[in-house]
């Protein structure tokens, strides 16, 4: 029985999708002694992992290599091996379409692969962030097309990923896990299984409740970031330093949670996840107004930053057209190499649409693909800073010498509070414009 295999730690674990969610999950369980197999469609990733090399920043190769050598972790492109697994976790992307509808093609494809090899007694867990009802309405029927019955022949649950790339404090092991099954036994088996490797596991009453909990987490962040972004715009109109205002409000020990503004939202989760919920509610004839308003404010922040750049150039009797702009950072947040949904790339495109020559420096992203071409990071030198008509800080990466930037740049548009004024007056030679 699966329960016995979980109890005596002999359950074999399969992870479908070895990206920034799947690989850390697989490695954590392998470190706990469970034989774990990762399933990946990209052969180059499988080859890297077979050599003990990680391509995910939060998973050091020094963790992967001994697990591979001991036979606790293997990666494969052979999905037939799914039939040998006792527990299968699906960790594949769930992007939005251009019309902001959920693109469930990756989940559906992965589920079909599992359904073709589904055996009695297996537990399948979806981790991909999605709208409430996906596990019951999409995944379950596809798995039952195998002829097996959920709750009788196999088990099914949802457990949202909570990965925060580059977070030095919270990782897979010490971030509480939420689980919900399509039935009571599925939920309890999922809870017992995750408890083998994760410190705290909280079971909720259903898969849909677990799905909704993840969307609440990221909608909460999206709405509050939208609020503070609008406060930044209002503060600029009022001649106030929004960072000073936020720090003052954050001194209250209750009733306030600190959020900070920025050039827009990036990454896979916050700019996208709330719209799964908005889409689902539209099918029920309900408009998710907070989500849509926050999305509108946040998506306009790159345009607001471009307006700040235009205003700063105007003071030097220059226009955006023909100016050279140096952007510091194209990753979506500090100290990661991830450019997904990065607002910096949106700002770059908007500036170039208005005739600017744009270059970038990012110590974490030496290059990235833009359309049919590859763009390369320039060196952050005094000469490069001196050539720029304006420097835009879009990431506050550790290791960037912001003092050097302030010494050699002409104008700095600071969207990340790299030059805090509160209690530490700015003394750089460059003219500073803050978000």
For residue 114, give the CATH number of its domain.
3.40.50.720
- pLDDT value for 423: 66
- pLDDT value for 182: 98
- pLDDT value for 101: 80
The answer on 185 and 248 residing in a single domain is no
Alpha-carbon distance of 427 to 56, in angstroms, equals 38
* Residue 269 annotated to the active site: yes
The answer on 247 and 183 residing in a single domain is no
> How many structural domains comprise the chain?
2
- How many angstroms from the chain centroid is the CA of residue 167? 12
The answer on 171 and 271 residing in a single domain is no
Tell me whether residue 248 is in a domain.
yes
Instruction: Tell me the H-state helices in 271-401.
Output: 273-282, 289-299, 301-314, 343-353, 382-387
The answer on 312 and 365 residing in a single domain is yes
The answer on 315 and 178 residing in a single domain is no
The helix (H) or strand (E) run that includes residue 194 is helix 184-194
- pLDDT value for 360: 96
- pLDDT value for 98: 67
Tell me whether residue 176 is in a domain.
yes
The answer on 182 and 278 residing in a single domain is no
- Cβ neighbours for 32, distance < 8 A, ≥ 6 positions apart: 9, 196, 197
- pLDDT value for 371: 79
**Prediction pTM value:** 0.90
The answer on 362 and 285 residing in a single domain is yes
The answer on 364 and 264 residing in a single domain is yes
The answer on 140 and 81 residing in a single domain is yes
- Compute CA distances 222 → 97, 226, 345, whole Å: 19, 6, 19
Residue 2 CB-half CA count within 13 A: 27
The answer on 269 and 186 residing in a single domain is no
Tell me whether residue 340 is in a domain.
yes
From the first residue on, what is the mean pLDDT of each consecutive set of 10 residues in the chain (435 residues)?
A: 95 97 96 97 96 92 96 97 98 82 93 97 96 96 97 97 88 96 98 97 98 95 96 95 95 96 85 86 92 93 97 95 97 90 94 96 92 90 96 94 94 94 80 93
- pLDDT value for 426: 84
The catalytically annotated residue of 140, 269, 390, 395 is 269
Q: What is the extent of the structural domain holding 404?
A: 240-434
The answer on 200 and 151 residing in a single domain is yes
Task: Name the nearest CA neighbour of 277 among 129, 418, 403, 150.
Answer: 129
DSSP secondary structure letter of residue 378? P
The answer on 171 and 39 residing in a single domain is yes
- Cβ neighbours for 373, distance < 8 A, ≥ 6 positions apart: none
Write out the two tokens for 345: 């790339």
- Backbone conformation region of residue 255, classed left if phi is above 0, alpha if psi is from -120 to 50, else beta: left
Tell me whether residue 223 is in a domain.
no
């Amino acid at each position: 029985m699966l329960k016995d295999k979980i109890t005596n730690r002999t359950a074999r674990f399969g992870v479908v999708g070895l990206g920034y969610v799947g690989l850390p999950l697989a490695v954590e369980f392998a470190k706990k002694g469970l034989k774990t197999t990762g399933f990946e469609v990209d052969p180059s990733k499988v080859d890297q992992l077979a050599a003990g090399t990680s391509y995910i920043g939060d998973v050091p190769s020094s963790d992967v290599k001994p697990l591979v050598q001991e036979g606790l972790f293997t990666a494969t492109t052979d999905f037939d091996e799914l039939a040998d697994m006792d527990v299968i976790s699906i960790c594949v992307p769930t992007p939005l379409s251009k019309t902001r509808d959920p693109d469930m093609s990756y989940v559906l494809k992965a589920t079909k692969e599992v359904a073709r090899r589904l055996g009695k007694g297996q537990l399948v867990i979806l981790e991909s962030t999605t709208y409430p009802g996906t596990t019951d309405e999409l995944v379950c029927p596809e798995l039952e097309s195998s002829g097996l019955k959920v709750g009788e022949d196999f088990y099914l649950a949802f457990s949202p990923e909570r990965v925060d790339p580059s977070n030095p404090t919270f990782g897979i092991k010490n971030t509480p896990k939420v689980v919900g099954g399509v039935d009571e036994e599925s939920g309890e088996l999922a809870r017992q299984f995750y408890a083998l490797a994760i410190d705290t596991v909280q079971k909720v009453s259903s898969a849909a409740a677990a799905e909704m909990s993840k969307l609440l987490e990221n909608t909460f962040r999206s709405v509050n970031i939208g609020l503070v972004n609008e406060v930044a715009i209002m503060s600029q109109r009022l001649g106030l330093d929004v960072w000073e205002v936020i720090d003052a409000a954050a001194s209250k020990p209750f009733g306030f949670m600190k959020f900070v503004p920025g050039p827009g939202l990036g990454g896979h989760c916050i700019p996208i996840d709330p719209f799964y919920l908005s889409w689902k509610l539209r099918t029920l004839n309900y408009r998710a107004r907070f989500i849509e308003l926050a999305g509108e404010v946040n998506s306009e922040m790159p345009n607001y930053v471009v307006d700040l750049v235009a205003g700063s150039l105007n003071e030097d009797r220059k226009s955006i057209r023909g100016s050279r702009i140096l952007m510091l950072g194209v990753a979506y947040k500090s100290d990661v190499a991830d450019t997904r949904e990065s607002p910096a790339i949106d700002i770059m495109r908007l500036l170039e649409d208005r005739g600017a020559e744009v270059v970038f420096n990012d110590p974490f992203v030496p290059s990235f693909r833009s359309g049919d071409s590859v763009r390369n990071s320039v060196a952050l030198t005094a000469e490069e800073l001196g050539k720029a008509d304006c420097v835009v800080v879009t990431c506050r990466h550790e290791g960037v010498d912001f003092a050097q930037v302030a010494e050699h740049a002409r104008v700095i548009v600071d969207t990340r509070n790299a030059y805090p004024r509160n209690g530490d007056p700015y003394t750089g030679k460059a003219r500073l414009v803050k978000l």
